[in-house]
């Protein structure tokens, strides 16, 4: 099963919005269609009506990530299960046009959706992909970026469960901010130590008089 591919549907949709910055990239039908990537046949089903529906699903998917990031595994699973019930898919074996060295199809599991609209199709695949990722790797592998003000969603696939940021850019920004904070603290301590030493010298000089 192409776990990373399907679960990325959820990440892509959630990250069209940056709540803390008041930014929303999901403002047109073209933006909705862009989320489908190479699946252009599904993308062509999108209409203006899908904008509102996509935003609703986006909020529900973000709630899954927020619950997981907050350590509430049960809530994360319950929220995801509600999406799975509302937007079901049918697993099918597919070979597409990919062949192995012997010319045989490279069979794999494919999530086939039978939606009434583009939102239902996208939500079904996103929810199922996220469910596979959660059950395979654990709820704590669903995270939200720790570099303020960014709160983008990400899927932690690191070997030691150490991912904390959505991108290298955010990781670098957070590391620079942490370094500057340490330098300010060190400078403050040095100034405080210097003032204490000067005060002690003054007190000592006064006592000698």
Report the predicted TM-score, pTM, of the whole model to 2 decimal places. 0.78
Helices 49-69 + 118-137 axis angle, to 10: 10
Check pLDDT > 90 for residue 103.
no
Distance between CA atoms of residues 11 and 15, nearest Å: 6
Query: What is the residue-wise DSSP string for 100-143?
Result: -TTS-B--EEEEE---SSHHHHHHHHHHHHHHHHHHHH-GGGEE
- Ranges 34-43, 148-157, 182-191, most confident: 148-157
78 confidence band (pLDDT: 50, 70, 90): very high
What's the pLDDT score for residue 39? 80
CA distance 146 to 100: 42
Q: Could you give the CA distance from residue 91 to residue 134 in angstroms, rounded to a whole number?
A: 18
**In the chain, helix, strand, coil percent, each to 5?**
60, 10, 30
Between the alpha carbon of residue 156 and those of residues 65, 137, 138, the distances in Å are 12, 9, 10
CB 138 within 8 A of CB 15: no
Does residue 92 or residue 121 have the better pLDDT?
121
């Amino acid at each position: 099963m192409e776990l990373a591919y399907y679960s990325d549907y959820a990440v892509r949709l959630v990250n069209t919005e940056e709540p803390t910055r008041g930014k929303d990239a999901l403002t047109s039908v073209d933006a909705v269609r862009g989320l489908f990537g190479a699946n252009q046949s599904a993308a062509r089903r999108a209409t203006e009506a899908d904008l509102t529906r996509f935003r609703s699903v986006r909020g529900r998917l973000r709630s899954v990530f927020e619950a997981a990031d907050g350590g509430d595994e049960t809530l994360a699973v319950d929220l995801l299960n509600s999406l799975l019930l509302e937007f079901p898919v049918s697993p099918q074996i597919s070979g597409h046009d990919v062949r192995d060295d012997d010319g045989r199809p490279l069979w794999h599991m494919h999530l086939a959706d039978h939606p009434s609209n583009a939102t239902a199709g996208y939500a079904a695949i996103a929810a199922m992909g996220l469910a596979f990722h959660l059950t395979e790797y654990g709820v704590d592998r669903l995270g939200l970026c720790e570099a303020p003000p960014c709160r983008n969603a990400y899927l932690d696939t690191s070997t030691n469960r150490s991912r904390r940021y959505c991108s290298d850019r955010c990781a670098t920004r957070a590391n620079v901010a942490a370094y500057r904070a340490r330098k300010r603290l060190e400078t403050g301590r040095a100034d405080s130590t210097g003032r204490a030493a000067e005060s002690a010298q003054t007190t000592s000089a006064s006592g000698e008089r």
